[in-house]
Structure 1
């Protein structure tokens, strides 16, 4: 009878080790499969959207307009008299100086008028001499008859006749003197017209055009005909732009202008807005306003009459957060739209905007200390408000913003009042800091605060775990491709610019 063999302890241990190893391998495979499935799901979800990164850069907002180049000062030289042109002494593009003779008109007519006037003056002087002699005789006769009348040797009627003859002789003398003055004035007019037969340049400049030739007759009966156009100084020129009424509110004197001309397509010229004129022009129901741009033309490369294609720079933001305009236009599908919008939040925190504005003011140490003190007080107030029970949704750096009450009836109508209250609150919180600024810094601070308060809000959608998540941002300047944004977003964030599902 054989004895039963029992398994050894070493063999049992080996069997359990194999079982544990198999279970571990199966678990690892399952975990790997689950991870791969999740990773693939996330990749598939992410591939359903097209994204772009939030980046820093410059935004330059411009207004396009066209206009013609002109000389800053252009003089039309005409003729005050009529006559035949005998000499034309300048031509196109000639440089002339003030007082230089540029043309002559036949002076013979006016020389004859002067000779005739001189003869009439001499005749009037002879008539005066005759009248003076007659007056002396009449006065002597009157004096004699006055003595005789006192002695009652002649009748009173003879004395009255002598007095009348004396007065008549005096009137003739006065008439002769007036005739002399009249003839002298007439002759002086002829002399002035004789001087006007010589046409001189009124300014230093360049002849742009001439409209006469020797032998041509000039008729100046109703108005002075234009004979020459002279540009006073072509080293300084101007452009007269026609700006649309929709854009004219953004144009102010002093703005930078860049423009090109067809003669130099690869070259960009610079100028500044000099004047915004109020004389509107209506062309086919399109209203435009003339804007004068001054520019330097020291190299004389620009010529009058050239067409300028200009861009007026109304805003230039440097090193700001910007996103593609496609990100602002994107709206998620209905299945994600509700959940995404609920996570958008309110207006967000203004602290970064204040820091950005302060950086542009180039503050000194005391001004920076006052700014930091005001901002710290605001942050402390916000922290204490957030620690209070049941904080209201949409609270911002200064309490409840417009986002918290935008769904109330009449919320849109109160937008202006909300912005005004916000501006008043900003001024109150930063009153001590603003008192340390100079006039230029105060003006810039006011402009930046006004732009911040008046900025509109829009949602951006970030891709989080394969789904869009909305964040409300403040929208600033836009150049047509990129838009400045600020608020709950950071550089490098991925924002959705479109959906890729249609490509499936």
Structure 2
């Protein structure tokens, strides 16, 4: 009875030992595999290719103001007797908003009226003298013909007649002068009533009753009236480095410190040419129109605005760090460019552009024939590369890195390649209709003139060069196309060996 428990215990201990051994081996294998995987993936720092939106915006500051602001002044001097409009008052066109003491001009009118009456009396006297001189001259002229009076008397009578006529003309001129002076006084009397020239809102008022205004050199400013606050404008100061991207019609989003939780929208209305140089910083004024129908925004607010110069929706984008990465030979991670260049290239892009043209079978055949001829020529060129060449991205491509062509040389290269591709695809283009031909021409010009860069995709633990076409950038991410898909891992750096 005492030996049975021992016999039963030995097999159980053996099984337990086997299970423990298997678990230890499995744990060790898992740890080894994880360590190797960590060592493999930990060699590179990567980012994922994403599909999303790229919004390119230019930041600037400015001040809100009414689109039309009218400064109301006074054309005459005098003491203000009444002020009938105050800050923020809404006024109608022609509404009386102030009055100036009119007594001075009323006295001038009375004085002018008296002078006119005096001048008219003088005219009556001059006309009477004229009639007398005419009669005297007529009598003496008749007597002179009969030689009954001396000729000198006739001449004196003629001179007296001319003098009388001159006195009448002088009296008439004096009446006109006094009448004009009186009209001026009446106009000035009307100007003692200050009226609003427009319908709007009073922004500022600089006068008080009893204050004296002097209009000797320039019209004093009494009121500032905003014609319509339902539509406002912002004058932004845009740096000269960014002004080339700004055009009328572009959208603008902005915020104001007075309303930190709200974002407002506007539209670029005008890019003015009057540059301002402040401490060697050149800026250009950009006028943005804003809808303020709700009356939220106030004149004079400082705003922080972003001008949306470009927007790309639903595109592939990568971190800019992936575009800056270049493998180091010390890590053995500087793969040579494969024959035919990195994945992608102009012909690959042309295939994608042609795919959206909805080509007929005959058009597709003409396209395939042209592409085959281009690729054959490129293959022949790569078969005998120049000394020290590694293969490259192909002709007509400007690569961001590696000291490629730039400036005038790059421009000439693009022009030659554009002409070459036009010749290569001339037969294919002739088969297109007008709409297809326009889209094809735009695609050719855009692809040949595009800037490209080599990025490195992590494939099977090794960097694989891929040539991509660079599009819009927001400073953090950049649009890319050609040879990449969403989810690909691009290398941004190498981890230090441990």
Which TM-score band (shorter chain)?
A: 0.7 to 0.9
Task: Point out where structure 1 has 5 or more consecutive residues left out of the alignment.
Answer: 1-32
**Alignment equivalent of 2:43, drawn from 32, 48, 58:** 48
Q: Which residue of 2 aligns with 1:316?
A: 311
Asked if the contact 1:271–1:296 (Cα under 8 Å) also holds between the matched residues in 2, the reply is yes
Asked if the contact 2:342–2:465 (Cα under 8 Å) also holds between the matched residues in 1, the reply is no
Does 1:348 find its partner at 2:344? yes
Asked if the contact 2:344–2:466 (Cα under 8 Å) also holds between the matched residues in 1, the reply is no
Asked if the contact 1:351–1:375 (Cα under 8 Å) also holds between the matched residues in 2, the reply is no
Judging changes above 3 Å, is the alpha-carbon distance between structure 1 residues 171 and 254 closer, same or farther for their aligned structure 2 residues?
same
Does 1:92 find its partner at 2:92? no
The 10-residue stretch of structure 1 (462-471 or 476-485) with the greater mean CA deviation from structure 2:
462-471
CA distance in 1, matches of 2:378, 2:269: 58
1:123-162 paired onto structure 2 within 5 Å: 123-162=118-157
Judging changes above 3 Å, is the alpha-carbon distance between structure 1 residues 378 and 498 closer, same or farther for their aligned structure 2 residues?
same
**Alignment equivalent of 2:320, drawn from 322, 325, 347:** 325
Judging changes above 3 Å, is the alpha-carbon distance between structure 1 residues 143 and 375 closer, same or farther for their aligned structure 2 residues?
farther
Q: Which residue of 2 aligns with 1:482?
A: 477
**Alignment equivalent of 2:372, drawn from 348, 370, 383:** 383
Q: Which residue of 2 aligns with 1:236?
A: 231
Q: Which residue of 2 aligns with 1:289?
A: 284
Does 1:116 find its partner at 2:111? yes
CA distance in 1, matches of 2:365, 2:208: 81
Asked if the contact 2:397–2:450 (Cα under 8 Å) also holds between the matched residues in 1, the reply is no
Query: In structure 2, the residue corresponding to 1:147 is in which secondary structure?
Result: helix
Describe the superposition over 1:140-165 as per-residue Cα deviations: whole angstroms up to 9, x where unpaired. Answer: 00011111111111111110000000
Q: Post-superposition shift, 1:53?
A: 1.7
Q: Post-superposition shift, 1:475?
A: 1.2
CA distance in 2, matches of 1:93, 1:386: 73
1:107-256 paired onto structure 2 within 5 Å: 107-256=102-251
CA distance in 1, matches of 2:131, 2:315: 102
CA distance in 2, matches of 1:389, 1:80: 80
Judging changes above 3 Å, is the alpha-carbon distance between structure 1 residues 96 and 353 closer, same or farther for their aligned structure 2 residues?
farther
Q: Post-superposition shift, 1:266?
A: 1.7
Task: Point out where structure 2 has 5 or more consecutive residues left out of the alignment.
Answer: 1-27, 383-390
Judging changes above 3 Å, is the alpha-carbon distance between structure 1 residues 368 and 142 closer, same or farther for their aligned structure 2 residues?
farther
Query: In structure 1, the residue corresponding to 2:219 is in which secondary structure?
Result: coil
Q: Post-superposition shift, 1:436?
A: 2.1
> TM-score, normalization: structure 2?
0.83
CA distance in 1, matches of 2:282, 2:77: 42
Asked if the contact 2:397–2:448 (Cα under 8 Å) also holds between the matched residues in 1, the reply is no
Describe the superposition over 1:33-59 as per-residue Cα deviations: whole angstroms up to 9, x where unpaired. Answer: 999989965652221112122121110
Aligned residues: 458
CA distance in 1, matches of 2:205, 2:440: 54
Q: Post-superposition shift, 1:392?
A: 2.5
Asked if the contact 1:347–1:401 (Cα under 8 Å) also holds between the matched residues in 2, the reply is no
Query: In structure 2, the residue corresponding to 1:391 is in which secondary structure?
Result: helix
1:463-474 paired onto structure 2 within 5 Å: 463-474=458-469
RMSD of equivalent CA atoms: 3.2
Judging changes above 3 Å, is the alpha-carbon distance between structure 1 residues 260 and 452 closer, same or farther for their aligned structure 2 residues?
farther
Query: In structure 2, the residue corresponding to 1:290 is in which secondary structure?
Result: strand
CA distance in 2, matches of 1:389, 1:249: 37
CA distance in 2, matches of 1:395, 1:373: 33
Q: Post-superposition shift, 1:68?
A: 0.2
Q: Post-superposition shift, 1:189?
A: 0.5
Judging changes above 3 Å, is the alpha-carbon distance between structure 1 residues 128 and 341 closer, same or farther for their aligned structure 2 residues?
farther
Query: In structure 2, the residue corresponding to 1:342 is in which secondary structure?
Result: coil
Q: Post-superposition shift, 1:486?
A: 1.4
